Amino acid sequence: MSNELPMGIPSVDLALFLNGTAEEKQQFVNTLGHAYEEIGFVAVKNSLINDQIISQLYQSVQEFFTLPLDVKLKYERKELAGQRGYTSFGKEHAKDSNAGDLKEFWHFGQIVNEGNKDIYPDNIPVDELPEFLSIGLEAYKGLENTGRFMLRAIALHLGLEENWFDAHIHEGNSILRPIHYPPITSEPKDAVRAGQHEDINLITLLIGASADGLEVLNKQNEWVAVTALPDHIVVNVGDMLERLTNNRLKSTTHRVVNPPKEKWDTPRFSIPFFLHPRNEMKLDCLPSCIKEGEHAQYPPITAEDFLNQRLAEIGLK
C-alpha cells in the first residue's frame, strides 16, 4: 500500500481510497495523515489525470515557451497580477528575497458556470497555439478532481465529515501553472530557479518535472532532493491548510535549485496545480485542531485576503 521512496516521501495509491476495501481506505487516510503531519509531502499514484493529457500538456507548454518573447508578452496582463496568462522571466520572487526567480510561467484558472462569470478573470487563449487553452483546462479538471479526493482523505484524518471541503473548493480559485526554467547562460548572483518558499494554497498537486531540482527541507533542517517518478504526482500541504489545522499539517519549505554547471544548458519544465478554496472561505483554525490548553496560532482571515497578502509579498501584486 505504502512504501518509502528514495527521497524520504511516502507513496500512496489513490485507487485504494477510491475503490479499496474499508480497511484499505482507512490505511490510505492513516498513511496520508501521518505523512502530512511529519513532512507535508506524498507521492500519489493512480491520480485522476490521464497520461495522454499530461503528455499533450507538456508538448503544448514547451511549444508556448519557445515562442518569441514579443509574442509571449502579448499575453502578459499586468492588471491581473499574474492570475491569468503569461508572467515573464524574473517577476516572481520568494517571500523574503528580492532576487527574481529564474523562471517564466503561465496561469490557467477556474472555469465557472454562467451565473458566476464575474468571480474570476477569463482564461486567455493563445492565437498561435489553438489547442493550448483546451488542453490546459482538461488537465485542470483532472487535477482538481484528484485534489477533491485528497482533501476528502484529509478531512477523515482530521475527524471531519468526508465531504467537508467539497463546498469550500467548488469553483474555488485554483490555478494550474506551467513553469519554464530556461537554460542558465551566466553565473547567477543570488537567484535560484525558485527560492525557498511554502505554497499559499490548501494543497499543491505537481505533475513530475522534466529535470531534477526540487528539494524539501526536513525536520533536521536538511535539504532533501525529490526525484520525479514517472507514474506519480507529488501532493503537498500549503499554508492555508497548515493555518486551518493550527500547524497540525505541515506546509513544508521547498525550493528548486540550479543544476550543476555541466547541466546549465538544460531547461526545466514543471506543472503545479495550486488548489485554492472559494475566496470567502474562512481560514480560522478548526476547533478540532486546537488541543486542550492550546490556542489558535493565527488570527481569522478569509482565503481571498490571505492570498492577496501573499501575492504582494512575492512581487505579483
* First-last CA distance in the chain: 43
Tens-place pLDDT, residues 157-204: 999 999 999 999 999 999 999 999 877 666 665 555 556 778 899 999
Q: Indicate the pLDDT class of residue 312, thresholds 50, 70 and 90.
A: confident
Helix (H) or strand (E) holding 175: strand 175-176
The three-state secondary structure class of 305 is helix
* This prediction's pTM: 0.87
Q: Which residues pair with 13 in a beta bridge?
A: 45
User: 85 near 143, Cβ under 8 Å?
Assistant: no
Q: How many CB atoms lie within 10 A of CB 307?
A: 22
* Mean pLDDT value of segment 131-138: 96
**Range with the lowest mean pLDDT among 174-178, 185-189, 216-220, 312-316?**
185-189
pLDDT of residue 128: 96
By residue count, the chain amounts to: 317
pLDDT tens digits for range 60-88: 999 999 999 999 999 999 888 788 999 98
DSSP 8-state class, residue 162 = T
Q: Give 276's contacts (C-beta < 8 A, 6+ positions apart).
A: 169, 172, 173, 174, 175, 200, 201, 202, 240, 303, 307
| Spatial separation of the C-alpha atoms in residues 274 and 174, rounded to whole Å | 6
Q: Is there a contact between 229 and 54 (Cβ–Cβ < 8 Å)?
A: no
| Structural domains of the chain, ranges and CATH numbers in brackets | 50-313 (2.60.120.330)
